[in-house]
Amino acid sequence: MTDEVPRILTVQRAAHSLATPAQRGEVEAWADSPVALPFGPFDPNEHRTLELGLHNWVEQQTGLDLGYVEQLYTFGDRYRDPREQAGGPRLVSVGYIALVRQVPLSGAGEAEWRNWYDFFPWEDWREGRPAIVDQAIRPRLQNWIGRIGDDDERQTYQERLSIAFGAQSAPWDFERVLERYELLYEAEMIGEALRDAQIRAAISGRPAPQADAEMQATAELLGTPMALDNRRVLATALGRIRGKLKYRPVVFDLLPPTFTLLQLQRVVEALGGVRLHKQNFRRLVINGGLVEPTGKHDSQSRGRPAELFRLRREVLSERPASGVGLPAARIIG
- Candidates 25, 23, 26, 27; CA nearest to 36 is 23
- Tell me the pLDDT tens digit for each residue of 198-219: 877 777 777 767 778 888 899 9
Report, as an integer, the average pLDDT of 277-282: 92
CA angle, residues 184, 190, 193, in degrees to nearest 5: 90
Of the ranges 5-19, 22-36, 173-187, which one carries the lowest mean pLDDT score? 22-36
Instruction: Determine the pLDDT at residue 22.
Output: 83
Q: Of all residues in the chain, what percent are helix, strand and coil, respectively (each to 5)?
A: 40, 15, 45
Cross-strand partners of 306: 298
What is the chain's alpha carbon radius of gyration, rounded to the nearest angstrom?
A: 22
How many other CB atoms are there within 10 angstroms of residue 230's CB atom?
A: 24
Domains annotated for the chain, with CATH where assigned, are 1-119 (3.90.79.10), 121-223 (no CATH), 245-330 (1.10.10.10)
Of the ranges 69-78, 189-198, 255-264, which one carries the lowest mean pLDDT score? 189-198
pLDDT band at 30 (very low <50, low <70, confident <90, very high): low
For 83, which DSSP code?
Answer: G
- Tell me the pLDDT tens digit for each residue of 146-186: 999 999 999 999 999 999 998 666 788 999 999 999 999 99
> Which 3 state secondary structure label does DSSP give 14?
coil
Instruction: Determine the pLDDT at residue 18.
Output: 87
Q: Which bin fits 4, alpha (ψ -120 to 50), beta or left (φ > 0)?
A: left
The pTM of this model reads 0.91
Contact 287, 331 (CB under 8 A): no
